Amino acid sequence: MEDDTKTAEPESTSGKKTWIEEIEVQGEELVGRVKQLAADSKVKRIRVVEPDGDIALEIPLTYGAIAGGAVVIAAPVLAVVGTLAALVAKVKIEIVKEEPAEEAQTS
C-alpha cells in the first residue's frame, strides 16, 4: 500500500484541536481505507478528492451509528465509495481529525 501522507497544522476551535491529514490511495484500496478511518473515534469527516482537486464525496462521521464501539457507515455510502473506486485509479483522502485541546497538548 502506497501512502503519500501530509498533515496540516492543527487549528483550535471551541477547546478542540482540529487538523486535516491527506493520504493518496489506489482506487481498489479506497473502500477498505474508508472503513478503517470510520472506526477511528478522532476522525470527524472524510473527503474523497479527485486528482483535479474537486471533492467527489464528503462523509461526516458525526452522524454515524455507534455499534460495538465502532462507527458503522451506511451501506449506500459504501456503495457510492465502491463505485467511485471503480472509476478512478488514484484519489486523495482528506481526513479531518479532532481531539480535546488538553489531550492534544499531552501527546
* Per-domain residue ranges of the chain: 6-106
d(CA 55, CA 92): 9
Q: How many CB atoms lie within 10 A of CB 77?
A: 15
> What's the confidence (pLDDT) of residue 4?
61
pTM above 0.75, yes or no: no
> What's the confidence (pLDDT) of residue 24?
94
For residue range 56-103, what is the model confidence (pLDDT) as tens digits?
999 888 644 454 444 466 778 888 888 888 888 889 999 998 877 665
